[in-house]
Amino acid sequence: MAKRIVVALGGNALGKNLPEQMAAVKITAKAITDLIEAGHEVVIAHGNGPQVGMIQNAMAQLVRSEPENHVPFPLSVCVAMSQGYIGYDLQNALREEMLDRGIDRGVSTVLTQVEVDRDDPAFAHPTKPIGAFMTKEEADALIKERDYDVIEDAGRGYRRVVASPMPKSIIEIDTVLSLVSTNHIVIACGGGGIPVFKTGGHHLKGAAAVIDKDFAAAVLAKQLDADMLIILTAVPKVAIRFGKPDQKELTRMSVKEAEKYIADGEFAPGSMLPKIEASVDFVSSRQGRTALITQLERARDGIDGKEGTVIY
């Protein structure tokens, strides 16, 4: 049966820099078009961890080189910039792949704001990794020079971390719904969305944060009344006791089982944990919804229950 699906693309589907991204989106477009060709309605969300860090570093260098002509770019503006250039590459790759297969449908990137709570405790405890991986020496230099918060990221190196408040609602949801209803493929909530909070009147103010794309995708999927949330990552299945001799991959996992594994600390914060939590949030919101966590190239088979981990 055809489903309305929100697909959350991880960094491995987008590359770490512009040349890598241009190559990666061509592969990503093939996997997404497989879902479209199978008759599913597809809305795409994506991360921007490496890209937003790259943009902010470039802007900081520009300010340092010409301080009299430039002011620092807020992190929310850098998120908006990342939405634009990632969406540009992704929508062009999707359009080309669909036309190559005889599918004539529009693809649109929606610059998307996502409401957060200005009093979210996340602002006092930065946890969201952004930017490139660093050595400990590079990380120590950034802490000293720029007073950045830095963490060791799942054994892969050191990264800067920023606030990651929970998303409340998608500001442009009516626009996304209108495009979906007219048979468009929509790219929305790029980088988790531009984080904003409401101030006096009708003003929306950008927040110095990056929203986790998995949580934003779950909110987007709920507001679109989607049937399925697919979170694409670097591993084929979710595993418990990850990296240990008795590691066990999971094919199916109920919400109740997922909550127990979360309580037992089975999933790494900033890595698999938000994917599981976002899946649980979405699946719990309405009877009959499912989530799938798997690799990009396994997504189509995952919908048929042949690959990945299904949360139900």
Q: Which residues are catalytic?
A: 11-12, 128, 213, 275
> What one-character-per-residue DSSP string does the chain give?
---EEEEEE-GGGT-SSHHHHHHHHHHHHHHHHHHHHTT-EEEEEE--HHHHHHHHHHHHHHHHHSTTT--PPPHHHHHHHHHHHHHHHHHHHHHHHHHHTT----EEE---EEE--TT-GGGGS--EEEEEEE-HHHHHHHHHHH--EEEE-TTS-EEEEE--PPP-EETTHHHHHHHHHTT-EEE-SGGG-EEEEE-STT-EEE-S----HHHHHHHHHHHTT-SEEEEEESSSSEEESTTSTT-EEESEE-HHHHHHHHHTT-S-TTTTHHHHHHHHHHHHTSTT-EEEEEEGGGHHHHHTTSSSEEE-
Distances (CA, A) of 184 to 14, 37, 43: 21, 13, 9
In 3D space, the residue among 190, 163, 151, 148 whose CA is nearest the CA of residue 7 turns out to be: 190
Block residue for tokens 């529009």: 106
Could you tell me if residue 19 is left (phi over 0), alpha (psi between -120 and 50 degrees) or otherwise beta? Answer: alpha
| Closest residue by Cα to residue 207 from 165, 147, 270, 172 | 165
